[in-house]
Amino acid sequence: MNKSLRAVPALLLTTSLTLCACSVEGKDQVTMSASTKSGISPLGDTNIAMKTSRPNKPAQLLVTDVRLGIHDSFERVVLDLDGNGDPGWFIDYTDKPMQQGSGALVQHDGRTTLNVNIDGTVYPHELNMEDPELHTVSSQGGFISQVISTGTYEGRSQFFICLDETRPYSVQVLEDPKRIVIDILR
């Protein structure tokens, strides 16, 4: 075989490895730079439309905590989940929040509420867990005044996010740990 033909594969391999190394380094630098300059951004596409998602398989989840965060351009509600499967949800604005099952009007602070229904949830004893005793989480300022838990009924947990006005929002499920993230724009 000709010496120049034998050199071609070696040259191609060396060039490929060099280019791969450059692109990985470049990607890390861009990512680190972007996160340092931009801070936290809202997740997903935001609008005021009703949002729903149905899981492919039944789940056995428990909402274990509710957290609120205030950021420059949005506020975030995080519903931490424990258990197995993927949650479904139905979220929409309402001016008259009513508790599922009983139909009782829910007393709240704010002009409007996001009615957050999470499907695939169970009672704590079904997962051999303690009751997280989620009730009302009050905000430390911002346009979200409170998040109210009205409990779980027939596989669905209900929460109301109380707001000063109707605002664009997004819903995402994140893993490790599993959680539903609702970002609401200022």
pLDDT tens digits for range 122-177:
999 999 999 999 999 999 889 999 999 999 999 999 999 999 999 999 999 999 99
Band of pLDDT at residue 179, cut at 50, 70 and 90: very high
Helix, strand or coil for residue 171? strand
Domain 51-185: which CATH class? Answer: mainly beta
Amino acid sitting at position 12: L
136 vs 146: CA distance, rounded Å: 7
CB atoms within 10 A of CB 3: 6
Give me the torsion for CA of 88, 92, 79, 159, rounded to 10°. -110
Question: What would the mean pLDDT of 108-123 be, rounded to a whole number?
Answer: 97
